[in-house]
Chains A and B, each alone.
Chain A
Amino acid sequence: MKKVLVFLVVILTVLSFAKTKIQFWHAMGGWRIEVIQNMVNEFMKLNPDIEVEVQYVGSYEEILAKTVSAVQAGTPPHVVQLNEISTQKMVDSGVIVPVQDLVDKDPSFDVGLFLPQVLNYYKVGGKLYSMPWNSSTPLLYYNKNLFKEVGLDPNNPPRTYSELIEACRKLVKKDEKGNVIRTGITWCLYSWFFEEYMALQNQPLVDNNNGRTAKATKVVFNNQAGLNFMNLWNTLRKEGLMINTKRADWTAARQLFISQTVGMLISSTSDVALLMTESAKQGFELGTAFLPVPDGTPRGGVIIGGGSLWIIKQKNQAEVDAAWKLVKYLAEPGPQIVWHQATGYFPIRVDAIQKLQAEGYYKENPHHLTAILQLLTSVQNYNTNGAIIGAFPEVRDAIETAVEKMISGTLTPKQALDEAEKNANKAIKEYF
């Protein structure tokens, strides 16, 4: 009996010193893998009793698919980074620990310091379900050297659609055979830009206040606002002022801009750091500006895109606690500033921005400032808080498919909107 007791004591001591192991899955490829690993290493230094396995799992879609299988197999990861459009799906899933519950229990954590623009996106029914982390908005990038070359004012980027089209026309350059070797603009074929352009015109994407006062039942983008953007896209394409990429091919769009094949690019603010380095390498001066709006339309605002951190339910409470510690750490000002400077994603906290401002960071990095100002000057309402839809991936697919048909000349902008509306509504109805 004594022996057994001694044995038990030994086992318990060993266990109490044992590290809590948690898994953190993220979707940030490239050089960002190392940035995240370093941030987590810092965390582990501060919390020697927690061991975090960081894994770059692939795209947001792949993370979601793999999380679904892992949960079903009974071995869920602890912290997963998912994109903003998974929000409703995860809220409905019943497999997560809402961050709000952990915030309420933890007096050391003050969510009041977060940017309201960011919090408003991730709060559903007043409750915060996931920890906002990498937040971005679209931004207009332009090549100041090319602007000068064709006689455009490099300090006065286009603000309206007609100014945008005019600038594109000037940027077109042809070789002696009449082939276009340089043109105006590109953005990757991604429904996110369509959604942003609805918000920029202060319009919702779906009913019930963008799905925020009750679950969305149908899309409401088939109107003049939606048509404005589709018409712009179609005009740019027809006149050869824009190069279209494959679906969601961010890299291709960036390459076109970096290789100076196009003079302007609409892409995520998360590309700021990368484009600053690349433009310097290519020897051109980078400019950034707010997104142009349709002529005569008052500016609404931009919606937060990007991702947030979700804590998945675990059998062992110690693991949830460890996961919360990690999530909390990654949202602190220090790591947020590191992350912001390395990528261009916003610091999600007011105190982090203030600290950088005081250090004079934004004077030296005006592009990071443009990105933040565009967000801070956005009107705050349901339209710019962004839509939440359970079937968001299908809605995006419906919009992208319709756009592809429009730019291949099969559908007119109006027909494309009709088709997107029909398929999106079907998906919303079928969501389960």
Chain B
Amino acid sequence: MRRKLLPYLLLMPTYVIIVLFIYLPAYDSFYSSFFKVSVFGNRRIFVGIQNYLSLFTDKDYLASVRFTLIYTLSTVVISIFLSFFIALLLDQKVPGSRIYRTLVFAPYAVSHAVAGALWGFLLNPVVGHVNYLTRIFFGIQTQWLTTRPFAAYSLIFASIWKTLPFNIIFYLAALQGISSEVIEASIIDGTNSWTRVWKIIFPLVSPITFYLVIMSIISSTFQSFAIIDVMTKGGPGGYTTNMIYKLFMDGFRFQKTGLAAAENVILFFVMIIITVFYFVYGQKRVHYQ
């Protein structure tokens, strides 16, 4: 009996924290999503599923879902392939590769908000470096952050720049974990490097790819708030507002707690789908050595 009790006792502090800071708030958002709540939370009316209905009939919300898909898809796909490619290059034993590695990892040390501010400066239409260069070389000036479709391009570019190092670190570790025998065997068998990369190396690092895809989806769906807030504020005209930014606007700018809770619940289900997919698909299809 004592043996059984001890582990639970040791886990108690963790349980208490999880219940207080995760389960209770989660329960509260489920509960609040069925209410219309006043600004200071002192009045609430039960409205059933009205919050959900108004979300799914709201053109702006649907637009934010659409942008979330576009933004997530392009960020994830481009950053995965690009990081794999860069990791391959960094894995080469050339002089100075250590310095390159350090430089390439630098963006990872920068927080999302700082990254957003940085790109905000660089892409500033008047005093930004990017426009300075494009004006000198191509004679064009672009309003990067305030016009369609450039606001979305800028945002996706900055997000990729931010997530790339994380992916590269993992790929590099995976590449260095591949035993040289396999590679040598393939060289003896006379494969060209293209086949070697896509038929041997890429499948061998597939567990990492899978992990990175999931992580990138989560980070670009749920952690993109800071970069959007700093760079475009969801504009122009709601064009770069994704689901998490919309939630922030409704919850913290307009104090519509009930509506924001409903949006939160929707994101919760999106998260569940991704997680389930991760466990089911991840075990079946990904090749582990």
Report chain A residues within 8 Å CB of B249: 397
Question: Is A384 engaged at the interface, CB distance under 8 Å to the other chain?
Answer: no
Shortest C-beta distance, A382 to chain B (Å), equals 25
Highest count of chain A CB atoms <10 Å: which of B125, B146, B238: B146
Give CA–CA (A61, B248) in the complex, Å.
12
What per-residue 1/0 map shows which CB atoms of B16-54 lie under 8 Å from chain A? 000000000000000000001111111101000000000
Contact B236–A407 (Cβ < 8 Å): yes
Is A75 interfacial (CB-CB < 8 Å)? no
- Contact (A261, B252) CB under 8 Å given A179-B135, A247-B235: no
A-side contacts of B254, CB under 8 Å: 391, 393-394, 397, 427
Asked if B40 and A94 make an inter-chain contact with CB atoms under 8 angstroms apart, the answer reads: yes
A244 CB contacts on chain B under 8 angstroms: 143, 146
Residues of A within 8 Å of B148, CB to CB, are 408, 410
B162 at the interface (CB under 8 A from A): no
With both beta carbons as reference points, the residue of chain A lying nearest to B43 in the complex is identified as: A432
Question: Which residue of chain A has its CB nearest to the CB of B45?
Answer: A432
CB–CB B39/A89 < 8 A: yes
**One of A65, A256, A408 near B126 (C-beta < 8 A):** A256
Point out the residue from A179, A247, A391 that lies within 8 Å of B139, measured CB to CB.
Answer: A179
Q: How far is the CA of A400 from the CA of B253 in the complex (A)?
A: 14
Tell whether B112 is near chain A: CB-to-CB under 8 Å: no
Q: Is the interface of A mostly helix, strand, loop or mixed?
A: helix
Q: Is B127 an interface residue (CB 8 A)?
A: yes
B164 CB, nearest partner CB in chain A, Å: 25
Within 8 A of B (CB), among A45-81: 61, 64-65, 68, 71-72
The interface size of chain B toward A, counting residues with CB under 8 Å, comes to: 34
Q: Which residue of A lies closest to B234 (CB)?
A: A247
Measured in the bound complex, the distance between the Cα atoms of B141 and A247 in whole Å is 20
Complex formed: what's the CA distance from A64 to B254 in Å?
10
Closest Cβ of chain A to B139, distance in Å, is 5
Contact partners of A430 in chain B: CB under 8 A: 256
Is there an interface contact between A179 and B141, defined as CB atoms closer than 8 Å?
Answer: yes
Is there a chain B Cβ closer than 8 Å to A95's Cβ? yes
Closest Cβ–Cβ distance, residue A60 to chain B (whole Å) = 11
CB contacts (< 8 Å) of B36 on chain A: these are: 432
Q: Are B238 and A401 in contact (CB under 8 A)?
A: yes
A248 touches B139 (CB 8 A): no
Bound Cα distance A64, B39 (Å): 10
Query: Would A246 and B126 count as touching, CB distance under 8 A?
Result: no
Q: How far is the CB of B124 from chain A (nearest CB, A)?
A: 7
Instruction: Tell yes or no: A243 within 8 A of B by CB.
Output: yes
Q: Which residues of B contact A89 (CB under 8 A)?
A: 39, 255
Interchain CB contact under 8 A, B39 and A246: no
**Docked pose: A52 CA to B148 CA in angstroms:** 47
- The answer for the CA separation of A72 and B254 in the assembled complex, in Å, is 16
Residue of B at shortest CB range from A72?
Answer: B41
User: Could you tell me if B255 and A408 are in contact, using CB atoms closer than 8 angstroms?
Assistant: no
Contact code string A273-286 (vs B, CB < 8 Å = 1, else 0): 00000000000000
CB distance from B72 to the nearest CB of A (A): 23
Complex contacts, A177 vs chain B, CB 8 Å: 135, 139
Given contact pairs A246-B233, A246-B235, A408 touches B124 in the complex (Cβ within 8 A):
no
> Whole-angstrom distance between the alpha carbons of A248 and B124 in the complex?
15
Residue B232 at the chain A interface, CB threshold 8 Å:
yes
Choose one: A93, A178, A402; the contact of B39 (CB below 8 Å).
A93
Give chain A residues whose Cβ lies under 8 Å from the Cβ of B125. Answer: 243
* Whole-angstrom CA separation of A247 from B146 in the bound complex: 9
Residue on A with the closest CB to B250? A394
Please report the C-alpha to C-alpha distance between residue A5 and residue B147 in the assembled complex, in whole angstroms: 75
User: Judging by beta carbons under 8 Å apart, are A65 and B255 in contact?
Assistant: yes
Question: Which residues in chain B, 222-266, are within 8 Å of chain A measured between CB atoms?
Answer: 232-233, 235-239, 249, 252-256
* A153-185 interface (Cβ within 8 A of B): 177-180
Taking a contact as CB atoms under 8 Å apart, the answer to whether B40 and A93 are in contact is yes
Give min CB distance, B135 to chain A, whole Å: 6
Please name all residues of chain B whose beta carbon is closer than 8 Å to the beta carbon of A92 when the two chains form the complex.
Answer: 38-39
Interface: A297 (CB within 8 A): no
Nearest residue in B to A180 (C-beta to C-beta)? B141
**Within the complex, which residue of B38, B139, B143, B146 is in contact with A432, where a contact is CB–CB below 8 Å?**
B38
Chain B residue nearest to A419 in the complex (CB): B237
Interface residue? B208 (CB, 8 A): no
* Given A179-B139, A243-B126, A245-B146, A68 and B40 contact (CB-CB distance below 8 Å): yes
C-alpha gap A259/B126 in the complex (Å): 10
B174 CB → nearest A CB, Å: 40
Q: Are A64 and B255 in contact (CB under 8 A)?
A: yes
B237 touches A68 (CB 8 A): no
A407: chain B residues within 8 A (beta carbon): 146, 236
A95, B40: Cβ atoms under 8 Å? yes
B217 interfacial by beta-carbon distance below 8 Å: no
B145 interface contact, C-beta 8 A = yes
B43 adjacent to A401 (CB under 8 Å): no
| B236 contacts across to A, CB distance below 8 A | 404-405, 407-408
Sample (23) of A-B pairs whose CB atoms are under 8 Å apart: A61-B252, A64-B255, A65-B252, A65-B255, A68-B41, A71-B40, A93-B42, A178-B139, A179-B135, A189-B146, A243-B126, A246-B233, A246-B235, A252-B124, A255-B127, A259-B127, A400-B235, A401-B237, A404-B235, A407-B146, A408-B237, A410-B148, A432-B37
Please list the 7 inter-chain residue pairs (A to B) with the smallest Cβ-Cβ separation, ordered nearest first: A404-B236, A405-B237, A404-B237, A65-B252, A177-B139, A247-B233, A408-B236
Q: Which residues of B does A touch, CB under 8 Å?
A: 36-43, 45, 124-127, 135, 139, 141, 143, 145-148, 232-233, 235-239, 249, 252-256
- Given A177-B139, A179-B141, A432-B45, 20 more A-B residue pairs with CB atoms under 8 Å apart are A61-B252, A89-B255, A92-B38, A93-B38, A94-B40, A95-B40, A246-B146, A246-B232, A248-B233, A255-B126, A256-B126, A391-B254, A394-B254, A397-B249, A397-B253, A401-B237, A401-B238, A404-B238, A405-B237, A432-B37
